[in-house]
Chain A
Amino acid sequence: MKQTDDFADLYQEVILDHGRHPRHGKRLEAFDVTAKGDNPMCGDRVQVWVKLDNGTIGAVGFEARGCAISVASADLMVEAVQGRDPADTKALFEAFRDMARTGSCRHCAAELEAPLERLAPLSGVHEYPSRVKCATLPWHALIAALDGVKEATSE
């Protein structure tokens, strides 16, 4: 057995897997909105492309240069937001950010419990305040794209 037990609270298998092999880590050729995210403190960068489908989020692709946490977060985000409308997506982001900062979502609407469950492997970042922004950076880029803003930072 690998002597790595105490690594797994933050780096669960799902994060390592999505960080190494992101399913959605590619630029969309046909998209409606896009935005870049930049964390100037650490140099992480992400760009998100979104194809809208009758007012809801259709296909999403991203390119990320950053750590396993930020890449995995971007990939899991894509799976969590597809089919949602922008307002719904922003509510999910608020809930996710709460979870990333505190370890759980304290005031979550019942309908967000299922998508948050999927994002829960990232909740371990709450023990590492400097890494919370790694997890939220792709979300900032996505929300900026939906709002028609070209660039976002996780500052």
Chain B
Amino acid sequence: MSITTSFDVNRIRQDFPILSQTIRGRPMVFLDSAASAQKPRAVIDAMVGAMETQYANVHRGLHWMSERTTEAYEACRDAVATLMNARDRSEIVFTNNITGSINLMAHSYGRGILKPGQAVVISGMEHHSNIVPWQLLRDSHAIELRVVPITNYGELDMEAFEDLLRDGKVGLVSITHMSNVLGTVTPAERIVRVAHKYGAKVMFDGAQAIVHRKVDVQALDCDFYAWTGHKLYGPTGIGVLWGRKELLEQMPPFMGGGDMISSVTYEKSTWAQVPHKFEAGTPAILEGIGLKAAIDYVQGIGYDALAAHEAALTEHALARLSTIKGLTIIGQAQDRGGVISFAMDGAHAHDVATLLDRQGIAVRAGHHCAEPLMQRLNLDSTARASFGVYTTHEEVDALATGLERVRSFFK
């Protein structure tokens, strides 16, 4: 296998200082990267280095330090544009996180472009961040909210999806590119083709997907794509909304303030060009510098190697976990990423998570901010293991052994 020669997980792990920590006297087995990923040395150094040597406010200073900081911060926009294969760097809008990106869309596209009586389509496996902003829009702006059902395998029901679009009322489809609960990767190209056929624009929630595979917005042919830095080994506090420039230009601003204007008088203000129209206030400067370092880090490894590593881990985990009696893996999508939810007979997910934690193994447990999906699955909660670039096969084995111990304890 060529991957093993180019991808050495033990060398990768040395890039992440936190992984040498011990938890309750045991090596840390961190299987909660889907909630937030750990940070490589390159990100830490970039942010600390900026604070120590090169920091001022951006975009408005006429002095040397401000100009250098602006360059460093704006280099992140170039890195994001390259990462996503955007046509133009001005299509990259920085937000505070993916929730910020989707709320921007619900406000500026939902209230600014959609008309009362039109509909927004989401799916039955969305995170609350891609449900609640649209409910607020529905209630304030008479926009109908439609939900694509999922199959028992945890995949989108694509026939039902097309049925929801047939009456031509749907203005926007906002769907996850990869479920944070089921690991399901949705058929993005097909979603876009079907939606465009009926005149609907498409936004993807790429919070999980962009961590696991190359996202090329031109190849996807989508209209908007949102993601967040902290799951891609970058810092918290910075998110991304990519949008087609002609659409971003039509949309009214979201938040008003400094940095987003062209001119201000008491009678009338005019807006800055995109993307700055959507970036009111002092941005997350250090976080932008950190995110640039994270993108460089991921690009240095390469998505092919990263995806191959995670596919191998996921396959190994599914094989190991499926041998544990009384353990049910939730979601059996054909196309899936390194996020695995499971339920254990006779043991609540919180108890499972606490007993794994007792063994130094970090997983997430609960409804994963996806309560409607939990209701669809008839579950109160699941435990979830998720993998990152630094996850090893041995850690997956530790999870399996840990779960066997939990099971024998609760049996």
Give the interface of A toward B (CB within 8 A). Answer: 2-4, 6-7, 10-11, 16, 20, 41-45, 65-69, 128, 131, 134
With A42-B366, A42-B367, A43-B366 known as contacts, the answer to whether A11 contacts B380 (CB < 8 A) is no
- In the bound complex, CA of A11 to CA of B355 (Å): 9
- In the bound complex, CA of A131 to CA of B357 (Å): 12
**Range of interface residues on B (Cβ < 8 Å):** 20 to 34
Contacts of B357 in A (CB 8 A): 128
- In the bound complex, CA of A3 to CA of B350 (Å): 20
- The tally of CB-CB contacts under 8 A between chains A and B is 53
Contacts of B359 in A (CB 8 A): 6
Q: Is the interface of B mostly helix, strand, loop or mixed?
A: helix
Contacts of B115 in A (CB 8 A): none
A69 contact from B350, B365, B367, Cβ within 8 A: B350
Report yes or no: B409 in contact with A2, Cβ–Cβ below 8 A.
yes
B346 to chain A, nearest CB (A): 8
Report yes or no: A66 in contact with B380, Cβ–Cβ below 8 A.
yes
Contacts of B355 in A (CB 8 A): 7, 11
CB-CB nearest 3 A-B residue pairs: A67-B348, A67-B350, A43-B367
Q: Flag whether B354 is at the interface (Cβ < 8 A).
A: yes
Contact with A along B344-364 (1 / 0, CB 8 A): 001111110011011100000
Inter-chain pairs besides A16-B410, A68-B347, 9 sampled, C-beta below 8 Å: A6-B359, A11-B409, A41-B366, A42-B381, A43-B371, A43-B374, A66-B380, A68-B348, A131-B350
Contacts of A7 in B (CB 8 A): 355, 358, 405, 409
Q: Which partner residue on chain A sits nearest B406 by CB separation?
A: A7
A–B Cβ pairs within 8 angstroms, 15 of them:
A2-B408, A4-B408, A6-B358, A6-B359, A10-B354, A10-B358, A42-B365, A43-B374, A44-B380, A65-B380, A66-B348, A128-B354, A128-B357, A131-B350, A134-B350
Q: Which partner residue on chain B sits nearest A3 by CB separation?
A: B405
Contacts of A67 in B (CB 8 A): 348-351
- In the bound complex, CA of A131 to CA of B348 (Å): 13
Contact with A along B324-351 (1 / 0, CB 8 A): 0000000000000000000000111111
Contacts of B350 in A (CB 8 A): 42, 44, 66-67, 69, 131, 134
Contacts of A2 in B (CB 8 A): 408-409
B349 to chain A, nearest CB (A): 8
Contacts of B346 in A (CB 8 A): 20
B154 to chain A, nearest CB (A): 19
With A43-B367, A43-B374, A67-B348 known as contacts, the answer to whether A131 contacts B405 (CB < 8 A) is no
Contacts of B366 in A (CB 8 A): 41-43
Which residue, of B354, B366, B410, has the highest number of chain A Cβ atoms within 10 A?
B354
- In the bound complex, CA of A11 to CA of B408 (Å): 13
Contact with A along B142-186 (1 / 0, CB 8 A): 000000000000000000000000000000000000000000000
A43 contact from B358, B381, B408, Cβ within 8 A: B381
- In the bound complex, CA of A67 to CA of B371 (Å): 17
Contact with A along B367-404 (1 / 0, CB 8 A): 10001001000001100000000000000000000000
A28 to chain B, nearest CB (A): 23
- Residues of B261-312 whose CB lies within 8 A of A: none
Contacts of B405 in A (CB 8 A): 3-4, 7
Contacts of A68 in B (CB 8 A): 347-348, 351, 410
Contacts of B408 in A (CB 8 A): 2, 4
Q: Which partner residue on chain B sits nearest A10 by CB separation?
A: B354
With A42-B366, A42-B381, A43-B380 known as contacts, the answer to whether A69 contacts B358 (CB < 8 A) is no
- In the bound complex, CA of A16 to CA of B355 (Å): 13
Q: Which partner residue on chain A sits nearest B359 by CB separation?
A: A6
A131 contact from B347, B354, B380, B409, Cβ within 8 A: B354
Report yes or no: A69 in contact with B371, Cβ–Cβ below 8 A.
no
Q: Which partner residue on chain B sits nearest A16 by CB separation?
A: B410
- In the bound complex, CA of A3 to CA of B351 (Å): 17
A124 to chain B, nearest CB (A): 10
- In the bound complex, CA of A42 to CA of B369 (Å): 9
Contacts of A44 in B (CB 8 A): 350, 380
Report yes or no: A11 in contact with B381, Cβ–Cβ below 8 A.
no
Q: Which partner residue on chain A sits nearest B355 by CB separation?
A: A7
B23 to chain A, nearest CB (A): 12
Contacts of B371 in A (CB 8 A): 43
A155 to chain B, nearest CB (A): 14
